């Protein structure tokens, strides 16, 4: 027990120290919310990807392959393709456009880009962000609490309390800069832990043929395309498109693009970040495949494959310090999400509705109080949460991706949409995801990632409503 506790205390101490040391001495609301657009390409590249990979990378994804076969790797392929397109077609234009419109949140950008004087776009997009993001954060806390319980035999509620206090300690003081630097550090830590564990484990199994033999015995496919039926290709399409398209609408990732100091450096960040992502996803896949031979009799809890493998190959202190990589993945996602919510609260509600003449100091404190509020709200949601981590991530990822991804593409690349279409797109995307668990069984017995239909229905709504209301828009501009 001493090794376990000392490892996690050391890790969290390092984390808080980095967060506090990286803070700026004089912090304004612009510093707190977006680092005043001063991030370098190193921090942008790694932190953007670290924000994406929660404990899902260590738990849900390896488990999926360990149980169902290599076909589930299409999720990773979809993520790589989606993030590459995010860097390629979203990042440069979003960085320049948000500076042009002096926007620190997606809500503000959409409102100013589509000339909405009613405030509906800002309010609706802010509500969608807060709803799905808070649910996302609660999922991270649920995962963290369960890990504390499983690994250290520490009560679930104590675990989520500790995790919340750790994040609040550096976020409340340092804001965006502290979050970015801690995420950068944790991204490097994830990389090292995920690469080392399967390499060490590989030398403790007989050979690659042992993996193949056990997979065959358990009827687990090791082929990316097990057959050429329509159902198989449809499932592949659903996994790749249904996950990959989500990147276009994730505020906690998009804010890293918005915050880079020089837009021309985004190309460097892209190559750095994509290299990181390919390596960690490949390593997580390797954990699952090597695990077939490493645990020939299977595991009672297959989601703990990385944890059990790490415990087997390292002595206690090193094992538990390495396992802290899972906490790193969770915290690097949650802190960015909490900060996005706090920024939305200060920029889109406090500044817009409560105090339109707010000073920089007042907005700064509104953001800080937002950190406390949303960390507390997520804590309350996690207190009684019983859903699986995979279902929480899928639901939140799909909701954000379909609410904002289609509209962001339209905002950056076309001039044929208007404010009415924007509102329709946000609403359609979010509602489709919310109702999809009821709709999916009526259409097919095959589970479809909700982002897949919701994204395209949102696009359709944007263009259809924009076309139908084009006369009203023209009249509004005329008057």
pLDDT at 33: 66
Tokens 């699986």 belong to residue: 388
Domain residue limits, the chain: 2-389
pLDDT at 409: 95
Q: Is the pTM of this model over 0.85?
A: no
Question: Class of the 2-389 domain?
Answer: mainly alpha
* Closest CA relative to residue 409, chosen from 249, 266, 250: 249
pLDDT at 477: 47
pLDDT at 285: 95
pLDDT at 479: 47
Task: Give pLDDT tens digits along the chain (479 positions).
Answer: 666 677 777 777 777 777 667 666 556 667 676 777 888 899 899 988 887 777 778 888 899 899 988 988 988 898 899 999 999 999 999 999 999 998 888 888 999 999 988 888 988 888 888 888 888 888 778 878 877 777 777 788 888 888 888 778 777 777 777 778 888 888 888 888 889 999 999 999 888 889 999 988 888 888 888 778 888 888 888 778 877 888 899 888 898 899 898 989 999 999 999 999 999 999 999 999 999 999 988 888 888 898 889 888 888 777 777 777 777 777 777 888 888 888 888 887 888 778 778 788 888 888 888 888 888 888 887 776 555 666 777 788 888 999 999 999 999 999 889 999 999 999 999 999 988 888 888 887 777 878 888 999 999 999 999 999 987 555 554 44
Q: Which residues contact 442 (CB under 8 A, 6 or more apart)?
A: none
* Closest CA relative to residue 99, chosen from 251, 259, 248: 259
Give the integer Cα–Cα distance in Å for 196 and 349.
46
Q: Which residues contact 373 (CB under 8 A, 6 or more apart)?
A: 342, 345
- Report the residue count for the chain: 479
- Quick one: three-class SS letters along the chain? CHHHHHHHHHHHHHHHHHHHHCCCCCCCHHHHHHHHHCECHHHHHHHHHHCCCCHHHCCHHHHHHHHHCHHHHHHHHHHHHHHHHHHHHHHHHHHHHHHHCCCCCHHHHHHHHCCCCCCHHHHHHHHHHHHHHHHHHHHHHHHHHHHHHHHHCCCHHHHHHHHHHHHHHHHHHHHHHHHHHHHHHHHHHHHHHHHHHHHHHHCCCCCHHHHHHHHHHCCCCCCCCCCCCHHHHHHHHHHHHHHHHHHHHCHHHHHHHHHECCHHHHHHHHHHHHHHHHHHHHHHHHHHHHHHHHCCCCCCCHHHHHHHHHHHHCCHHHHHHHHHHHHHHHHHHHHHHHHHHHHHHHHHHHHHHHCCCCCHHHHHHHHHHHHHHHHHHHHHHHHCCCCCHHHHHHHHHHHHHHHHHHHHHHHHHCCCCCHHHHHHHHHHHHHHHHHHHHHHHHHCCCCCCCHHHHHHHHHHHHHHHHHHCHHHHHHHHHC
């Amino acid at each position: 027990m001493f090794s376990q506790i000392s490892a996690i205390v050391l890790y969290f101490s390092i984390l808080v120290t980095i967060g506090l040391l990286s803070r700026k001495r004089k912090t304004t609301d612009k510093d707190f919310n977006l680092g005043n657009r001063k991030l370098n390409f190193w921090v942008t590249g790694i932190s953007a990807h670290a924000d994406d990979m929660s404990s899902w990378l260590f738990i849900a994804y390896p488990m999926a392959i360990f149980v169902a076969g290599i076909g589930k790797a299409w999720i990773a392929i979809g993520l790589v393709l989606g993030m590459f397109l995010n860097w390629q077609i979203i990042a440069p234009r979003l960085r320049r456009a948000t500076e042009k419109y002096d926007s620190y949140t997606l809500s503000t950008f959409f409102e100013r880009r589509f000339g909405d004087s009613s405030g509906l776009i800002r309010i609706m997009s802010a509500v969608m962000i807060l709803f799905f993001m808070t649910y996302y954060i609660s999922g991270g806390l649920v995962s963290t609490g369960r890990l504390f319980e499983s690994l250290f035999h520490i009560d679930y509620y104590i675990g989520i309390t500790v995790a919340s206090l750790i994040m609040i300690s550096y976020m409340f003081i340092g804001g965006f800069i502290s979050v970015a630097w801690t995420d950068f550090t944790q991204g490097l830590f994830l990389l090292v832990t995920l690469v080392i564990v399967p390499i060490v484990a590989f030398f403790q199994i007989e050979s690659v043929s042992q993996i193949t033999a056990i997979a065959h015995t358990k009827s687990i496919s090791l082929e990316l395309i097990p057959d050429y039926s329509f159902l198989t290709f449809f499932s592949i399409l659903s996994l790749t498109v249904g996950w990959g398209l989500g990147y276009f609408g994730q505020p906690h990732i998009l804010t890293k693009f918005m915050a880079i100091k020089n837009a021309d450096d985004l190309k460097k960040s892209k190559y750095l970040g994509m290299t990181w992502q390919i390596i960690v996803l490949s390593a997580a896949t390797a954990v699952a495949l090597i695990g077939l031979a490493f645990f020939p009799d299977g595991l009672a809890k297959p989601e703990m494959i990385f944890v059990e493998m790490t415990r087997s190959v390292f002595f206690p202190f090193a094992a538990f310090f390495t396992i802290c990589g899972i906490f790193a993945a969770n915290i690097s996602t949650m802190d960015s999400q909490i900060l996005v919510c706090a920024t939305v609260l200060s920029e889109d509600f406090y500044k817009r509705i409560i105090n339109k003449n707010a000073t920089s100091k007042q907005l700064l404190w509104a953001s800080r109080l937002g950190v406390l509020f949303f960390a507390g709200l997520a804590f309350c949601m996690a207190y009684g949460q019983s859903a699986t981590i995979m279902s929480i991530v899928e639901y939140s990822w799909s909701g954000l991706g379909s609410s904002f991804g289609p509209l962001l593409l339209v905002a950056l690349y076309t001039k044929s949409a208007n404010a009415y279409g924007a509102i329709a797109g946000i609403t359609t995307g979010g509602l489709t995801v919310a109702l999809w668990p009821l709709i999916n069984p009526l259409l097919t017995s095959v589970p479809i990632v909700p982002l897949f239909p919701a994204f395209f229905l949102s696009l359709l709504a944007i263009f259809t409503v924009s076309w139908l209301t084009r006369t009203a828009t023209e009249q509004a501009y005329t008057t």
